[in-house]
Amino acid sequence: MLLAAGVDLLGFPLRLPVHTPDLSEDETARLIHACVPPTRACLITYETDPAAVADLARLLGARWVQLHADVAPGVVAELRNAAPELGLIAALVVHGEDHDALVARGLALAPFVDACITDTFDPESGARGATGKTHDWSVSAALAHALPVPLLLAGGLTPDNVAAAVRAVRPFGVDAHTGLENERGDKDEAKVRAFVRRAKEALGRVSGSQRA
CA dist 148 to 56, 80, 114, 163, 210, Å?
A: 28, 17, 10, 23, 20
Domain parsing of the chain, residue ranges: 10-206
Is the distance from CB of 55 to CB of 31 less than 8 angstroms? no
Instruction: Specify whether domain 10-206 bears CATH 3.30.460.80.
Output: no
CA dist 113 to 1, 83, 107, 128, Å?
A: 29, 12, 10, 19
Taken as a whole, the chain contains a residue count of 212
pLDDT in tens, the chain (212 residues): 788 889 999 999 999 877 778 899 999 999 999 988 989 999 999 999 999 999 999 999 999 999 999 999 999 999 999 999 999 999 999 987 678 899 999 999 999 999 999 998 776 666 676 777 889 999 999 999 999 999 999 999 999 999 999 999 999 999 998 889 888 878 999 999 999 999 999 999 987 544 44
